[in-house]
Amino acid sequence: MAGIGFALKKMFQKDTFSNRALAYLYSSFIAAGPWILSVISINFLLVIMRIINVNNVERNLFSATIVYSFLFSQLLVAPVQLIITRYISDQLYQKKYDMIKPTFLGINKIIFFLSIIICLAFYWNKPLPLLYKVLSSYLFVIISEIWVILIFLSAVKNYKLIAKAYLFGGILTVALIFYLVENPIYFEQLQSSTNFLISYVLGVTLILIFFLFNFFSTFYYGKAYKYDFIRYFGKFASLGLIGLFYTSGLWVDNVILWFSDFQVVIYDTFIFAPFYDNALFLSYLTTIPSLVLFLVIIETEFFIFYKHYFGYANSAHPLEVIEKSKREMRESLLYNLTYTFMAQLLISITLVLLANPIFKLLQINYLIRDIFKVTTIGASFNIFTFILILVLLYFEKRGKALSIAFIFFVLNGSLTYYFTTKPIEYTGYGFAIAAFISFLIAVSFLRDYLKNINYSTFALQPIYLKEKSDIFVKFALKMNSRVSEK
């Protein structure tokens, strides 16, 4: 008899939502660590330099060296950060623990070579002593490697170790500085800043050694498929672009101001705008409370509802049950976001109102204070945009998250540029307005998504799963086969 009958059977498989959503969060928060640390440590070291009367030029040179190392290494790693986070969380989810070490070695190699090339290109024709160049390059490479390994360590959530590493690294740097202030190593040029840089570099090296030791004692096995993760560059290109645009967005206003009237150039090497840069750093420090608060809330409350909803949606439950868990999740999320946002706004407004006495007390330049007032409001909106991007990533709305990151980048660039043509009182307005608009867009994206979340969950999942074979997959295969031939 004719008829296809039931060769049809069940053609499709359900997609499973994993706990991977949290991974983005940890990775992002842990990445904030080095920044906080660098801002604090630079300021601390600058105070010491001032006390022992190091001249202004060397002080600026030292702080510029460190800021540049942090900034450009972060820009280098940002595009891969979320992709690698996703890749290793997928591997861990599938219990493929032996993929972790090779992946680390693979990505490390790539970042290592790229960072060396960047250093060579940057320092090649700069009028600095060779030793100083070598030390700065070394610092840049080490910090790049720290960014990379932090992605891996955040997956295992060993906060204690990370904190310990920072502590010991910090202690080493400070101890060395105290020693070297008394017994400086002699250099023909730039004696103080080179001594400081040596201390700093050794402290950071110790941090990396801690991290490496911990990493290799956790993931000591696995050899093959070093470059398997490259597949994800095609599949999750949006994650890379989110990292790239968001991080570039964070810095584009600084870079624009480096080329404005605020510009300061040191040794024809480092261009920066200390007034603006410092104001912004301080503003970002004010957002730490809401980041921490949000991390706690997400882990303790929201994530439970999140798991309920997707768990119900993907298993045998009637729509009524799913609808109920959807309402719970939505309410929890909206309540907590509002709560965190209000708390952050309260902190920011208080600091803005108290800025005059505080800055007077700390004897910081009034220009920095005035910029700080504007950028602090901007930073609170920006950190919320960032939080909303993370929330959208939980829901696998990578496209929306990317649009927000991109919009923020473009707005911050164009508005900051626009305001450089205005009187000096408007400094920081570009950033603040860009952050505010991006925040509103992010809110509306999230609202739309939550409104149609059932539609998204059920109807927008791919009807069939098929591994794309794009250029990245081919590249990964080729790289892997080269490795196994060896």
Partner 1 sequence: MIICMIAEGAYPYVAGGVSSWINQIISSFPNHDFKVVSIMPSQKETTELKYTIPDNVVKITTIYLDDYLEIKHRKIKKNPRFTNTEKKELRKLIRISRDVDWQFIIKLFDKKYRLGSCIDFLQSKFFFDETVEYYKESFKREVFNNFFWTIRNMLLPLIYLIQQKSEAADLYHSASTGYAGILATSFAYKINKPFLLSEHGIYGREREEELLKAKWVTGIYKKVWIDFFYSISAAAYNRADVITSLFEANRDIQIKLGVDPKKTAITPNGINYDNLNIEKKPHEGINVASILRIVPIKDIMTMIRAFSIVKSRVNNVKFYLIGPTEEDSSYFQQCTNLVKLLNLEDCIIFTGRVNIKEYLGIIDILVLTSISEGQPLVILEGWAAKIPFISTDVGSCRDLLQQDKFENECGLITKLASPSDTANAILKLIASPTLRESMGENGLKRVKRLYNDKVLIASYKEIYDKLFRKYDN
Q: Counting contacts by CB under 8 A, is residue 40 touching partner 1? A: no
- Residue number, 423 or 462, with CB nearest to partner 1: 462
- How far, in Å, CA of 149 to CA of 211, rounded? 7
Q: Counting contacts by CB under 8 A, is residue 322 touching partner 1? A: yes
Q: Counting contacts by CB under 8 A, is residue 12 touching partner 1? A: yes
Report in angstroms how near the CB of residue 316 gets to partner 1 at its nearest: 4
Nearest residue to 71 (alpha-carbon basis) of 235, 261, 284:
284
User: Which residues 6+ apart lie within 8 Å of 476 measured at CB?
Assistant: 227, 228, 229, 230, 231
3-state secondary structure of 399: helix
Nearest residue to 77 (alpha-carbon basis) of 154, 182, 131:
154
Contact 404, 389 (CB under 8 A): yes
Helix H or strand E segment including 386? helix 366-394
Stretch that binds partner 1, among 38-46, 48-56, 68-76, 310-318 (CB under 8 A): 310-318
Residue 30 per-residue DSSP state:
H
Q: Counting contacts by CB under 8 A, is residue 179 touching partner 1? A: no
3-state secondary structure of 271: strand
Q: Counting contacts by CB under 8 A, is residue 467 touching partner 1? A: no
- Residue number, 177 or 329, with CB nearest to partner 1: 329
- Residue number, 14 or 95, with CB nearest to partner 1: 14
Report in angstroms how near the CB of residue 241 gets to partner 1 at its nearest: 17
Among 217, 423, 463, 467, binds partner 1 (CB under 8 A): 463
Site string for partner 1, 400-439 (x = CB under 8 A): ----------------------------------------
Instruction: Classify burial at 235, counting beta carbons within 10 Å of its beta carbon; exposed 0-12, middle 13-18, buried 19 or more.
Output: middle
Instruction: Classify burial at 276, counting beta carbons within 10 Å of its beta carbon; exposed 0-12, middle 13-18, buried 19 or more.
Output: buried
Report in angstroms how near the CB of residue 166 gets to partner 1 at its nearest: 45
Query: What are the percentages of helix, strand and coil residues in the chain, rounded to 5?
Result: 80, 0, 20
Among 125, 127, 462, 486, binds partner 1 (CB under 8 A): 462
Report in angstroms how near the CB of residue 6 gets to partner 1 at its nearest: 6
- Residue number, 5 or 423, with CB nearest to partner 1: 5
Report in angstroms how near the CB of residue 322 gets to partner 1 at its nearest: 6
Torsion angles phi and psi, residue 264, rounded to 5: -130, 135
Site string for partner 1, 441-460 (x = CB under 8 A): -----------x-xx--xxx
Report in angstroms how near the CB of residue 1 gets to partner 1 at its nearest: 5
Stretch that binds partner 1, among 9-17, 57-65, 127-135, 149-157 (CB under 8 A): 9-17
Instruction: Classify burial at 5, counting beta carbons within 10 Å of its beta carbon; exposed 0-12, middle 13-18, buried 19 or more.
Output: exposed
Report in angstroms how near the CB of residue 3 gets to partner 1 at its nearest: 6
Q: Counting contacts by CB under 8 A, is residue 213 touching partner 1? A: no
- How far, in Å, CA of 418 to CA of 430, rounded? 7
Note the residues at the interface with partner 1 (CB under 8 A): 1-12, 14, 313-320, 322, 452, 454-455, 458-460, 462-464, 466
